[in-house]
Chain A
Amino acid sequence: MESSAYKIVNDTIILERELTELDIFVKDFLEILKKYTSYLIVSGYVSISTGRTRGTEDVDCLIPTMPKEKLEELFNDLLKNNFWCYQAEVFADLKKYLSSKDNIRFARINELFPNMELIFVDKSKPLQLFELKNPQKIKIKDFLFMIPPIEFEIAYKENILAGKKDILDAKHLREFFLEYISEEKLRSFAKLIKETKNEKSI
């Protein structure tokens, strides 16, 4: 299995391209985030980072729920490093958003887009918890980050998100990773996703 646009080395997908401004934004953000928690980049940026030509305003990032004190440290570190939070100037003002389990967004100072959307994951979100615990490494130049297994991302887009944009993202991933994708894994993840979806809807 070998594509000239990517290669697999020690289970890491290595993309053969230069960093974009979007990559640099994500890289700078993750440099801070990963000091405090594990994470997983999901959804649109997974497709875009592997070549899908479409715009995006937000980058979705799963993180496990964390103690308030640790989250406050992360919040302050981000502000110290030239990010601003959509919801609050100071951590105390985040309270109402955190208590309603809202996602929290950050952008660079004096910029609106792109923004990083932090999505808190706990046992009430079993599929997101599953992907968070099963990361796939991907690398562009010196930028190494975590995404879900490609087969999981495809199955999730096809079975859960299922909007036009998501279906096209899934088609891109299927074609781009044609030689890499395991049909067996794809079937297994699709089954897991459908079963979990059905359980949740009961």
Chain B
Amino acid sequence: MLRVNPFWHDLHILTGAYALDALEDASEQERFARHLRRCGACAAEARGLREVSTALAFAAAQEPPPGMRERALELAERTRQLPPELSKRHRKRSRLAWPQLPWLHGPWLQGLVTVTAAVAIAAAVVFGIGQSDTRQQLNQARSQQAAIAAVLAAPDVRTVTGPTSLGGRTTAVVSAELRELVVSTSGLPVLTSGRVYQLWLIGPAPAAATAVRSAGLLPAATSGLTAPYFASGLVSGDKLGITVEPAGGAKQPTTTPIVLLPI
């Protein structure tokens, strides 16, 4: 038996109750959290036991009610994200480091949560990205998520949203600093085969030859929602437009935009 201060020992054996959120009240929580800051071994043990809690949560997995994701998305659209709480140096390091970091330390969980970049969880959970089947799609999804994660973590990130003339909404999460954006739509009508939704970045002087740039094709929607789509090359004053185009997309828009969002 470890010869430690009996008071400490008494606190130490609470790592289990702490990992299960079974401490008595806020004051005991606080006391224990203080103890963890002083006792590295206890903190390490608490982390390991917390992963057992995660396993217990996975074991209880259950289908959420239909529409929960859509309702969460609506809430997210109306809610500003908190800016990062980090120093500039840390932020820079983190933004690079996060996407590479393994999601989970426990090997048993790694197979479970395959498609992830740590900070992309906001998008992953709320928007439900990463619908991919093959290894190649998985890798593409991974790098896309890393890019999406960077936009979401950008200090100047903003969300703009607007209805389209065909119904439904378009939401763009924009970082002017990174000159990147993430576009997602909900409730757009399904197009007949051979037609696609194409994204455009439209500069302030539409007459100029380079004013209208294709930003790619919207992915197909799943239950009314498109997976977040990453686009780059944003220029100050750009608007985001969406048009209906023939499969494969067009060089320049051939129809009237169904939405024009100032971003």
* A joins B in a complex: no
What is the interface of chain A, defined by CB distance below 8 A to chain B? Answer: none
